[in-house]
A and B are shown apart, each in its own frame.
Chain A
Amino acid sequence: MSRKSNRWIVVAVTAACAVAAAACGRPAPEAVPPVSGLAAITPPGVRPVSSVVWATNRDVISLDPIFGLGYPEYTAESLMCESLLRQAPDGSLEPGLATVSNPSPTRLVLTLRPGVRFWDGHSVTSADVVYSLDRNTNQTLGGSYGWVFNRVASITATSQDQVAITLKQPDYWLENELSSAPGIVIEKSFAEKQGKNYGTPAGSIMCTGAYMLKSWTPGVGVVAVRNPHYWNPSVHPLVGQITIKGVPSIASLTAGLLTGAIQGDYGVGVPTLNQLRHSGTVRVYLGPGWSSDVFVVTSLKGVLGDVRVRRALSLALNRQGIINSVYQGAAQLPRWLSNPGTFGYGTPVFAGAYNSSPVLTQNIAEARKLVKQAGATGKTITIGTTSQLAVYAGDTAAYEAAAQAIGLKVALRSVPAQNYIDFIVSPKARAGLDGFPVVDYGDDADPADLLAQAVLPGGLQNYDNFNDPAITAALEQARSMSNPDQRAALVARAERLTAQQLPWIPDVQPDTVLLLGKGLTGAISSSAYLYSPWANSLGRAG
């Protein structure tokens, strides 16, 4: 009796071992071939689809564009709402709801295009535009984009379809921002009636896009339907209904994509790309990315205050390992802090400067020398991290390996994923930290956007008063420079200097990952999807 059950146990355990051994790890590592040819768009769809379920990495928590919250909110807002100007998939600026002109360096005139209408049929007027822009700077609403307008003197409606913005100083970054969330136009009368319910689950929204909001139930999803009266006659939305659903679990996201329950996703931090690539039900598209995976240095008074130590850490980093194991090949080695996918203007100038800058590669011997020179051997750096987000856990591992290889010690401060944001917004959470990894992105295809936040004095993510006068001068000049090529040259100079000073250490430049169910095509495959209508060409392939 007992002997029999004993044997049973042994058999069970052996079987388990066999299963485990059979499902072993991958063979010894091989280099993943570099990805070439990132495309910003997929071939447009031609046939209609009745319904598409689109996944995001968590639930949407707001549809009010003045709150810059995250991927799910941007994805939902850009699907249904439109900005004054628009970013093309390749990042270049084009007219959106309006065209723009600069009668003088300190004056912007936005002229609404003929026929632009909200979903309820009302025409878009300059009053709506002024109202929408003013909401960003209205302190009582608590929006995130107030700083975008810090060079604006006034915004006035000069006629039924024209709005003039006068500036205290020339600001050529403003146009880019008007093509992003701060530039989204909503209907004034509708929003005023909604009051504080606008953009919340209790209320609704009123926008101009090719897809309009049908319903929003937190936890279930945002449901948008085709707008049969879209103001632009050259666009024919092909999908009957798009449901944006928060799918926080990688297991159910992967299962949903493999079984066809989910038909699309902009894969943010999806570790199962290889499986999806090899399945027959999903296609993986890689496009130019706008985000940067970086190590933000939070204290310039500690061990990382010495630029030699920062350079050493950067030289010791195994970036190819991060690309292979964390991103499964969907990322590039960096040369600058900003992602080359963000060259939305002055492209030849940027490309030239970028290609002549050195790639940040690994050189452990050199790194060790620098650490010794700086007298930092044996010192400890404290890194903020979380085990719950695979990208940050992987980045942290790479930094641990790098630090140990050059004689530094690492202490980790680990927090739940939900509290990772505290590192970004709360000085108290950053106390005692030397840095933390983060994947950050700007509002538009302009390298200066993210760069400014990091290196300008007073920049929102400049945590320890980094100030390099040369970098600051280049960026401030760029902001006032009307000629795009000259602007690009100035920003390129700032990027090159930043890559030497390393206030943030660039890890890798992630590509945009678009996962589409087989048979579907037409979604934008660059990061322009965050701020521009990404489903206007979505449909079934021919």
Chain B
Amino acid sequence: MASLFIASFVIFAALYLAPGNPVAALSGGRPLPPGSIRVLDQRYHLNEPFLAQYWYWLDNALHGNLGISITLRENVSTLIASRIWTTAGLVLYASVIIVVLGVGAGIASGLRPGRLDTSTLVVTAISAAIPAFVAAIGLIVVFAVKLRWFPALGNGTGFLSNIRHFTLPAVALAVASLAIVARVTRAAVREESDREHVQTAVSRGIPARHVIWRHIVRNAAIPITTITGITIASLIAVAAVVETAFSLNGLGAYLVQAAQSKDIAVVQGISLVLVTAFVVVNLLMDVLYAALDPRVTLGSQPR
């Protein structure tokens, strides 16, 4: 929990120092009369010293009030709540793709050097080199406009409709992150395959499936779990580009907008969500570590 505090402080400081002016975003391109600027500065404590501003925010946050968005003049909690399910759904969908395809490809190519392996190297390199917005545009042009298999924008209503609407964005989101998961998995599996105990097992005639599961994958599981976990946890930030490209109202896109218009309360609020997501994923990873490899004790993981 200490990391929550420190994170919020550092992010607040970063936003404070960054260039830009929250009142500017409110002006819509017309210079505001000085009286109005004064009023807005007062309302949002914009002219007060840094620590005082941080204290206002912290005090409110501890009482469950995440403050008010300067741009929308609405409660940050409400604004986050209305967007969180979109991002959560998108991230979940993309995670499934990443785990299935990424880990799957990594294991397959790690176990068999050769043509499959080179293809995986090439494909993961390509997917790492394609920016998310290019993937999005490509998917929209091909699958939404030309083939009409998927809708072009929006969330859809109802579960099945949501899945249809989220497929293209989830693929766009997963494409970029797939690469590192597949490659780290491949490296870990490769490394384990070369270990003595595996060679011994093979030479003793133990069936391949058994060898793969018990000896290789389970031992490679820690780095695989780690990279998958942190990739998924960081999807919210990567989601910003994809959400914008598909006009989905998600937290990622909103975070970037708010950061650039210095809507401090919103940035803090969303960052809290991010930090919490990391903490949760870390906990899950710790549990998995312990389950997968008892030699690595739970106690050595920090909270």
Contacts and interface: CB of A to CB of B under 8 A. Distances in A.
Is any CB of A less than 8 Å from a CB of B in the complex? yes
B267 to A, nearest CB: 13
Nearest to A139: B35
A189 interface: no
B162 interface: no
A61 B257 CA distance: 12
A146 B36 contact: yes
Contacts of B71: 61
Contacts of B108: none
A201 B26 CA distance: 15
Contact of B25 (A202, A217, A418): A418
Contacts of B277: none
B24 interface: yes
B145 A259 contact: yes
Interface stretch (B94-102, B111-119, B175-183, B188-196): B111-119
Given A5-B119, A422-B20, A425-B24, A261 B39 contact: no
Given A196-B73, A259-B151, A69 B26 contact: yes
B297 interface: no
A421 B249 contact: no
A144 B74 contact: no
Given A202-B78, A426-B21, A247 B247 contact: yes
B211 interface: no
Nearest to A6: B118
A425 B31 contact: yes
B242 to A, nearest CB: 10
A70 B31 contact: no
A140 B152 contact: no
Interface centre among B40, B114, B145, B155 (most CB of A within 10 A): B145
B137 A251 contact: yes
A9 B39 CA distance: 63
Nearest to A147: B33
B113 to A, nearest CB: 9
A185 B157 CA distance: 35
A298 to B, nearest CB: 12
A419 B247 CA distance: 21
B237 to A, nearest CB: 16
Contacts of A252: 140, 152-153, 245-247
Contact of B28 (A70, A217, A246): A70
A217 B78 CA distance: 10
A365 interface: no
Contact of B249 (A219, A261, A425): A219
A421 B29 contact: yes
A213 to B, nearest CB: 15
Interface string B111-129: 0001100110010000000
A460 interface: yes
A422 B24 contact: yes
Contacts of B148: 259
Contact of B72 (A12, A146, A201): A201
B126 to A, nearest CB: 9
Interface in A140-172: 140-144, 146-147
B28 A418 contact: no
Contact of A219 (B83, B137, B141): B83
A18 interface: no
B219 interface: no
A460 B31 contact: yes
Interface of A: 1-2, 4-5, 8-9, 12, 59, 61-62, 67-70, 73, 139-144, 146-147, 196, 200-202, 217-220, 245-249, 251-256, 258-259, 261-262, 416-419, 421-422, 424-426, 429, 438, 440, 460-461
> Which 7 pairs from chain A and chain B are nearest by CB?
A219-B249, A69-B28, A418-B260, A255-B152, A142-B36, A5-B118, A252-B153
